[in-house]
């Protein structure tokens, strides 16, 4: 499904600020895999996601989605294969446009856009139906400007937009980190539900170890630009936070304790 | 006095087209595009040169439109493909157009006196000049608003609107933001060139200097329109731009009538726009002040 082959990404090469964000990272995801990706600040999680999404070009290596080599494909072309939700709720939606207009933009992801009307009445009904499933009352506010919604509502909407047209791969970049704990929990549950219903292959970055253990069928941990842990199947099901900390200590030779990951 | 108002309304209608062009870049794309200063002259230059060679004035306006599209294309390519900041891209095209406009006209100005213009058809019916300009102006503005209202509701139009709002999100939805930015700049400058062509025919000359300050006038009209006539939906916004442009012209006519020197006009306009743009800042200063006054009471 997704196959990452020895990708390397260096920021500010050959300067004093040189930072090897990704170092020879390789892994593959199977169809339907739901991977939670954890790691400290600056470990390369978000860079990895952005490289897959095409925000940054990689320096070496290849990225294949469904056997299509997307390494040199620019961001908007790759978008046809990807659904993305960002950390900042503001990033995923157009604030000055209505809820239905945002959905309509997402509904046409990967399609050629022409001079047809931007939203059809048939679509509106469809949007109303799926907005109902969010249970946020948004189905009655189709033309409300997205800028007027709360962070949680916007993130739920972004999630809907990312999956409105079934993506080959769903990328969730700490999409609950900016929300209050209760809202974060709701958005996570919603993510889980959609991923299971649609059987979506997913890569979810999180800072929260408990969330990383609770969700998905596979857990990867990054450290200094490398994937240092890759736990799946039965092993993943039995995993606890304590296990994770011990195992991280073994591979990195460091205590994970000072990291933000422990705090949440 | 009636004559002054008629003059202001007729000029305002033509400048409404410039205002709509400025609105597309400044508000929809969130780019301050200075190409306008060159493309308005380009429109005038193309139309004037074509008309004195005996070209039908409406065809001349169509050629001006194409010229404006190309000017916008150049700015768009400089900005998106060569990664030059948008403000600078506009300035570069504007400066380049100065020379190109001189080339088009062959001299610094062209007189259109006693030429067959877009207004002649109405003037021949016995309508006075201002009346004819108002009629042609209404027809053009009406058509442009209709077309834009439709266009910005289409899939491509929605993509352009979203680009100014959140380019990152737009790319994530599979839209090439370079294309949408270039399209927006082209449409904007095409409209501004049409306005230039109409203005030149209305004042009976095209001059290479006539674009100076046009971006500021456009911005002033956009802001006046938004402040005075609201911004509920897209259609009412477009109409508010037209009313804003006319209001601006009436204000100018009045201050001139009150005895302000015409030489001070640009200073007056610049100060007005600066104040209007700074209004949110003034408000944020005033808020805590008001609160503390209330507390003191």
A interface test, pick of B173, B181, B231 with most A CB neighbours within 10 Å? B173
Work out the average pLDDT over B153-180: 96
CB contact under 8 A, A91 and B169: yes
Would you call A84 an interface residue with chain B, using a CB distance cutoff of 8 Å?
A: yes
Q: Which residues of B147-173 are buried (b: 16+ CB within 10 A; e: fewer)?
A: ebbeebbbbbbbbbbbbbbbbebbbbb
Among the partner-chain residues B165, B170, B171, the one whose CB lies closest to the CB of A96 is B165
* Section B28-32 average pLDDT: 96
Q: What is the pLDDT of residue B279?
A: 81
DSSP B153-216: TBHHHHHHHHHHH-HHHHHHTT--HHHHHHHHHHHHHHHHHHHHHHHHHHHTEEETTTTTTHHH
In chain B, the residue whose alpha carbon lies closest to the alpha carbon of A158 is: B169
Dihedral class, residue A139 (left if φ above 0, else alpha if ψ from -120 to 50, else beta): alpha
Among B159, B223, B240, B182, which residue's Cα sits nearest to residue A105? Answer: B159
The pLDDT tens digits of the residues spanning A45-84 come to 999 999 999 999 999 999 999 999 999 999 999 999 999 9
CA B11 to chain centre: 12
Mean pLDDT, all residues of chain B? 94
Give me the mean pLDDT over the B241-267 stretch: 93
The mean pLDDT value for B214-236 works out to: 89
pLDDT score of A255: 57
| pLDDT band at residue A260 using 50, 70 and 90 as cut-offs | very low
Cβ-based contacts of A95 with chain B (< 8 Å):
165-166
Distance from CA of B232 to the nearest CA of A (A): 12
- Does the CB of B155 have a partner CB in chain A at under 8 Å? yes
Quote the percentage of chain A above a pLDDT of 90: 81
Average pLDDT of chain A to the nearest whole number = 91
Pairing, β A218-223 against β A226-232? antiparallel
Confidence of residue B297 (pLDDT cuts 50, 70, 90): low
pLDDT, one tens digit per residue, over A17-51 is 999 999 999 999 999 999 999 988 888 999 999 99
Strand partners for A173: A205
What pLDDT digit, counting tens, does each position of B102-148 carry? 999 999 999 999 999 999 999 999 999 999 999 999 999 999 999 99
Inter-axis angle of helices A99-107 and B155-165, to 10 degrees?
110
Tell me the nearest-neighbour CA distance from A169 into chain B, angstroms. 13
Nearest to A80 among B162, B169, B174 (CB): B174
Enumerate the residues of chain A whose CB falls inside 8 A of the CB of residue B162.
94, 97, 101-102, 105
Q: What pLDDT band is residue A256 in, cutting at 50, 70 and 90? A: low
Chain A residues in contact with B183 by the CB 8 A cut-off are none
Q: How far apart are CA B19 and CA A22, in angstroms?
A: 49
CB contact under 8 A, A116 and B154: yes
Token pair for B160? 């352009």
Task: Report the run of H or E that residue A4 belongs to, with start and end.
Answer: strand A2-11
Bridge partners for A230 per DSSP: A220
Residues of chain B neighbouring A94 (CB-CB closer than 8 A): 161-162, 165-166, 169-170
Contacting residues for A63 by C-beta, under 8 A, at least 6 apart? A2, A3, A4, A5, A7, A51, A52, A69, A70, A71
pLDDT band of residue B176 (cuts 50, 70, 90) is very high
Q: How far apart are CA A257 and CA B215, in angstroms?
A: 57
Helix, strand, coil in percent for chain B, rounding step 5: 80, 0, 20
Residue A264 confidence (pLDDT): 43
Chain B residues whose beta carbon lies within 8 Å of the beta carbon of residue A161: 173
**What is the model's pLDDT at position A263?**
45
Closest Cβ opposite residue B154 in set A77, A110, A118 = A118
B52-86 pLDDT per residue, tens: 999 999 999 999 999 999 999 999 999 999 999 99
pTM for the full model? 0.92
In this predicted structure, what is the pLDDT of residue A254? Answer: 62
- For the cut 60, the answer to whether the pLDDT of residue A262 exceeds it is no
Q: Which residue of A has its CA nearest to B166?
A: A94
What is the chain B residue with the closest CA to A95? B165
ipTM: 0.90
Average pLDDT over every residue of A144-151: 95
Residue recorded with tokens 């308005």: B40
- Reading the block at residue B170, the tokens are 């737009």
For the ranges A64-68, A123-127, A219-223, B288-292, the lowest mean pLDDT is seen at B288-292
A–B: how many Cβ contacts below 8 A? 82
Q: Among all residues of chain B, which has the CA nearest to that of A97?
A: B162
pLDDT recorded at residue A244: 86
CB proximity B153 to A under 8 Å? yes
> Tokens 């030429």 belong to which residue?
B115
Rounded Cα distance between B46 and B101, Å, is 8
Decide if pLDDT at A252 tops 80.
no
- For residue B253, count other CB atoms closer than 10 A to its CB: 18
Average pLDDT over residues B1-29: 95
């Amino acid at each position: 499904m997704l196959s990452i082959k020895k990708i390397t990404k260096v920021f500010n090469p050959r300067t004093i600020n040189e930072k090897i964000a990704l170092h020879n990272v390789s892994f593959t995801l199977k169809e339907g895999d739901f991977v939670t990706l954890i790691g400290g600040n600056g470990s390369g999680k978000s860079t990895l996601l952005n490289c897959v999404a095409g925000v940054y070009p990689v320096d070496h290596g290849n990225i294949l989605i469904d056997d299509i080599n997307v390494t040199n494909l620019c961001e908007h072309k790759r978008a046809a294969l990807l659904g993305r939700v960002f950390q900042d709720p503001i990033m995923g939606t157009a604030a000055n446009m209505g809820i239905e207009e945002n959905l309509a933009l997402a509904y046409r992801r990967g399609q050629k856009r022409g001079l047809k009307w931007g939203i059809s009445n048939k679509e509106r009904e469809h949007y109303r139906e799926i907005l109902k499933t969010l249970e946020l009352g948004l189905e009655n506010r189709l033309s409300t400007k997205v800028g007027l919604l709360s962070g949680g509502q916007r993130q739920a909407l972004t999630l809907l937009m990312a999956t409105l047209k079934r993506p080959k791969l769903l990328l969730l970049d700490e999409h609950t980190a900016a929300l209050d704990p209760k809202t974060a929990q709701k958005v996570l549950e919603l993510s889980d539900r959609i991923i299971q219903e649609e059987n979506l292959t997913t890569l979810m970055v999180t800072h929260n170890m408990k969330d990383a253990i609770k969700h998905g069928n596979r857990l990867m941990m990054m450290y200094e630009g490398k994937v240092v842990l890759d736990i799946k199947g039965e092993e993943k099901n039995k995993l606890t936070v304590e296990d994770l900390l011990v195992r991280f200590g073994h591979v990195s030779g460091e205590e994970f304790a000072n990291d933000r990951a422990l705090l949440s | 006095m009636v004559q002054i108002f008629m003059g202001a309304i007729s000029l305002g209608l033509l400048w409404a087209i410039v205002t709509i062009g400025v609105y597309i870049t400044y508000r929809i794309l969130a780019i301050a595009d200075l190409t306008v200063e060159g493309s308005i002259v380009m429109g005038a230059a193309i139309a004037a040169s074509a008309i004195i060679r005996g070209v039908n004035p409406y065809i001349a306006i169509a050629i001006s439109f194409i010229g404006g599209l190309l000017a916008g294309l150049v700015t768009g390519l400089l900005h998106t493909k060569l990664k030059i900041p948008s403000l600078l891209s506009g300035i570069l095209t504007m400066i380049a157009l100065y020379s190109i406009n001189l080339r088009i006209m062959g001299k610094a100005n062209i007189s259109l006196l006693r030429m067959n213009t877009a207004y002649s058809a109405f003037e021949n019916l016995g309508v006075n000049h201002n009346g004819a300009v108002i009629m042609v102006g209404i027809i053009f503005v009406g058509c442009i608003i209709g077309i834009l209202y439709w266009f910005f509701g289409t899939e491509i139009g929605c993509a352009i609107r979203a680009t100014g709002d959140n380019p990152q999100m737009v790319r994530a939805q599979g839209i090439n933001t370079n294309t949408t930015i270039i399209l927006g700049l082209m449409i904007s400058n095409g409209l501004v060139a049409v306005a230039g062509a109409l203005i030149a025919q209305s004042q009976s000359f095209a001059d290479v200097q006539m674009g100076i300050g046009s971006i500021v006038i456009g911005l002033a009209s956009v802001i006046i329109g938004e402040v005075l006539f609201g911004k509920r939906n897209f259609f009412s916004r477009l109409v508010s731009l037209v009313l804003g442009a006319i209001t601006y012209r009436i204000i100018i006519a009045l201050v001139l009538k009150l005895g302000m020197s015409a030489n001070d006009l640009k200073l007056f306009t610049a100060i007005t726009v600066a104040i209007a743009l700074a209004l949110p800042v003034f408000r944020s200063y005033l808020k805590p002040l008001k609160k503390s006054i209330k507390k003191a009471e």
